[in-house]
A = this chain, B = another copy of it.
Amino acid sequence: MTNTYFPLDPTTVIDYVRTRPELMDIFRAGEALESVEVGDGNLNLVFKVWAAADAERTVVVKQALPYVRLVGESWKLPTERARIEAQALAVQARLCPEHTVHVYYFDPVMFCTVMRNLTRHVIMRRGLMEGITYPKFGQHIGTFMGRTLAGTSDLVLDYKTKKEQVARFINPELCKISEDLVFTEPYRYTERNLFHKELEPQVVALQADADLRVEVAQMKAQFMTHAQALLHGDLHTGSIMINQDETICIDPEFAFYGPIGFDVGAVIANLFLSYASHEVRTKDAAARAAFRSYLTDTVIELWAVFAREFAALAWANADSIDLPTAYRDRYLLQLLQDTAGFAACKIMRRVIGLAGVADIRGIEDVHERAIAGSLALNMAIPLIKGRRDVRTIADVVALATAARVTYPFGS
């Protein structure tokens, strides 16, 4: 065990895990281990380590870097976020172990989390890009969000625990990334925005839309002030490991007490981004329609499951039992409207902002990429502008799916 922080590499990570008592059931004393660095995120080193004699005996080591990898060492980030991630994983594991990655240990000196290597799962985004459906996803993610979000809110926690948790999960640097990249930069000219030239007329028009900027500023204010529940904070399809049977959420380093709709909106945004991308990714019209039906059915199912699981926890305690039914209905309707607004921001930032998604940015042909990006932006705008009129999740789906491609412009 080390006394000071240093960044691991594929060699040193082997020495690092070899002697840990928490891993005694996995690795045997003195046996050969192998490793590879697989991080494709922006903020961390991620290693897979396995026994040379048996690749099934394996762990993932995630180490926080003190800067944003995507930008370079100039953008400092406190390794403190690794502590927040480990504590958030502990909370999520308590409330919903079946959909939270198992952690063997967290090392507060090396800012390393050592966790289960999900060898039978893929990153959900990759699967969706290939048009693979995951029939249990709506059920699973709805359960995860309903339990973790209700279970960390004032509706379940006592007054004191909740407020102490708010303080414990203050996460200024990571929140600042979202404040800038989700709610600020995409809606004005900044050098860090990264969209392709073909989309420029649509992006310029969006940035000139004062009504839209009012709505986005309201979502930003809510993100910054509304401490409803402990959010995952970055619940996109790249933070979800999946197969036909299991759904496992990883990487809650952006966790903080924020508005519940931000997490739910993130999941829905990423399903809608996939929906937009298959405008060009799936050429066959019937196959495209079928995959899109899967996506929209999943949006509807995940909300229904979320609302059911949330309500089951939220309205069970003594204080809320006394609340009128109309209050409960309004509470969930407000969450739905928030969800639509946050989903819109998450879609727009992925098309216009610094950090894109492979669903769309990974489309090789620039015209096809512009088509998918155009559709995604046109799905987002009615979601945020029309969110106050939404009454059901079907309304949300209808708003988004009514959108059409407007690229090439002026055609």
Residues of A at the B interface (CB closer than 8 Å) are 154, 159-160, 162-164, 166-167, 170-173, 175-176, 179, 184, 188, 210-211, 213-214, 217-218, 221, 224-228, 319, 322-324, 326-327, 330-331
- Could you tell me if A225 and B323 are in contact, using CB atoms closer than 8 angstroms? no
Write out the residue numbers on chain B whose beta carbons fall within 8 Å of the beta carbon of A214.
324, 326-327, 330
Instruction: Please give the distance in Å from A220's CB to the nearest CB on chain B.
Output: 9
Interface centre among A163, A184, A188, A218 (most CB of B within 10 A): A163
Q: Of the candidates B164, B210, B211, B221, which one forms a contact with A170 in the assembled complex, judged by CB atoms under 8 Å apart? A: B164
- Could you tell me if B160 and A176 are in contact, using CB atoms closer than 8 angstroms? yes
Q: Of the candidates B175, B184, B188, B327, which one forms a contact with A213 in the assembled complex, judged by CB atoms under 8 Å apart? A: B327
Report copies per complex. 2
Q: Given A166-B170, A326-B211 in contact, is the A225-B228 Cβ separation under 8 Å?
A: yes
- Could you tell me if A217 and B172 are in contact, using CB atoms closer than 8 angstroms? no
**Extra pairs beyond A159-B224, A160-B176, A226-B227 (19, CB < 8 Å):** A154-B225, A159-B175, A159-B179, A162-B224, A163-B170, A163-B172, A163-B175, A166-B166, A166-B167, A167-B170, A188-B322, A210-B326, A211-B326, A213-B324, A213-B327, A217-B323, A217-B324, A217-B327, A225-B226
Write out the residue numbers on chain B whose beta carbons fall within 8 Å of the beta carbon of A225.
154, 226-228
Interface centre among A211, A218, A327 (most CB of B within 10 A): A327
Q: Given A164-B172, A167-B166, A330-B214 in contact, is the A154-B323 Cβ separation under 8 Å?
A: no
Query: A180's closest neighbor in chain B, by CB?
Result: B159
Instruction: Please give the distance in Å from A184's CB to the nearest CB on chain B.
Output: 7
Write out the residue numbers on chain B whose beta carbons fall within 8 Å of the beta carbon of A172.
159-160, 163-164
What would be 17 A-B contacts, judged by CB atoms less than 8 Å apart? A154-B224, A159-B179, A160-B173, A164-B170, A164-B172, A166-B167, A166-B170, A210-B324, A213-B323, A213-B327, A214-B327, A217-B323, A217-B324, A217-B327, A218-B330, A221-B331, A226-B226
Which label, helix, strand, loop or mixed, suits the secondary structure of the A interface? helix
The distance in angstroms between the C-alpha atoms of A188 and B320, with both chains bound, is: 13
The distance in angstroms between the C-alpha atoms of A410 and B228, with both chains bound, is: 44
Query: A212's closest neighbor in chain B, by CB?
Result: B324
Write out the residue numbers on chain B whose beta carbons fall within 8 Å of the beta carbon of A179.
159
The distance in angstroms between the C-alpha atoms of A226 and B172, with both chains bound, is: 17
The distance in angstroms between the C-alpha atoms of A224 and B159, with both chains bound, is: 9
User: What 6 A-B pairs have minimum CB-CB distances, sorted nearest first?
Assistant: A167-B167, A160-B172, A163-B172, A210-B324, A214-B327, A217-B327
Instruction: Please give the distance in Å from A406's CB to the nearest CB on chain B.
Output: 23
The distance in angstroms between the C-alpha atoms of A327 and B327, with both chains bound, is: 28
Instruction: Please give the distance in Å from A13's CB to the nearest CB on chain B.
Output: 32
Write out the residue numbers on chain B whose beta carbons fall within 8 Å of the beta carbon of A331.
221
Instruction: Please give the distance in Å from A154's CB to the nearest CB on chain B.
Output: 5
Query: A167's closest neighbor in chain B, by CB?
Result: B167
Write out the residue numbers on chain B whose beta carbons fall within 8 Å of the beta carbon of A213.
323-324, 327
The distance in angstroms between the C-alpha atoms of A116 and B56, with both chains bound, is: 72
Write out the residue numbers on chain B whose beta carbons fall within 8 Å of the beta carbon of A163.
170-172, 175
The distance in angstroms between the C-alpha atoms of A223 and B310, with both chains bound, is: 21
Write out the residue numbers on chain B whose beta carbons fall within 8 Å of the beta carbon of A324.
210, 213-214, 217
Query: A211's closest neighbor in chain B, by CB?
Result: B326
- Could you tell me if A327 and B166 are in contact, using CB atoms closer than 8 angstroms? no
Write out the residue numbers on chain B whose beta carbons fall within 8 Å of the beta carbon of A323.
213, 217
Write out the residue numbers on chain B whose beta carbons fall within 8 Å of the beta carbon of A326.
210-211, 214
Q: Of the candidates B154, B211, B217, which one forms a contact with A221 in the assembled complex, judged by CB atoms under 8 Å apart? A: B154
Interface centre among A173, A214, A319, A326 (most CB of B within 10 A): A214
The distance in angstroms between the C-alpha atoms of A128 and B175, with both chains bound, is: 46
Instruction: Please give the distance in Å from A286's CB to the nearest CB on chain B.
Output: 44
Write out the residue numbers on chain B whose beta carbons fall within 8 Å of the beta carbon of A175.
159, 163
Interface centre among A164, A211, A224 (most CB of B within 10 A): A224
